[in-house]
Chains A and B, each alone.
Chain A
């Protein structure tokens, strides 16, 4: 059986963008800090809309933020 795995670079991108805090990112994309924490730890996979919003904040494409790695 194929296990889906989506990884993300949010933590790295936050630090590359002026050490943005999780709270700041959460406020900018309109979610709670707990949701950003859950996404960073791969405990929650965001909707496409939120994924695009996060990529938009870092001014990169979605596939820079999120990677799909089927194992």
Chain B
């Protein structure tokens, strides 16, 4: 299996773990009641900032670990990690679909705000849109790598 395909699976894993952990923390541990009242926006901001910082940190750590594992165990060389024109085109196409999903989600969230949804649900619908855009990007990559561009 090419390194690019492996890293796509790793990204799916890290994105899912990150967003499941976020959902568990916000809805399970803290509870919706924590995000109501005068400090609601501050609490939501903290939760989303933590999601972004910890999510990226987790992703970077996992990618490094998988990269080192690949070099040590599978004897991957520098060439295996090199991206060529096909990888770039697959990347652009996946970003295109990711962008469409993200923009649709953001516009729907703005619409929900106009309909009177609380800030908590609007922010979380934006987070969901972000997650779905990541899923759309990675699913497109998997599809194009397997089926061809």
Contact = CB atoms under 8 A, between A and B. Distances in A.
A41 B2 CA distance: 17
A9 B93 CA distance: 27
Contact of A44 (B79, B80, B82, B86): B86
Contact of A32 (B84, B147, B149): B84
A4 B82 CA distance: 30
Interface in B90-149: 145, 147-149
Main secondary structure, interface of A, reads: loop
Nearest to A46: B85
A31 B86 contact: yes
Interface residues of A, number: 13
28 contacts: A27-B79, A30-B84, A31-B84, A31-B85, A31-B86, A32-B2, A32-B4, A32-B79, A32-B80, A32-B84, A32-B87, A34-B2, A34-B4, A34-B86, A34-B145, A35-B84, A35-B85, A35-B86, A38-B86, A38-B148, A38-B149, A43-B147, A43-B149, A44-B86, A44-B148, A44-B149, A46-B85, A50-B85
Interface of B: 2, 4, 79-80, 82, 84-87, 145, 147-149
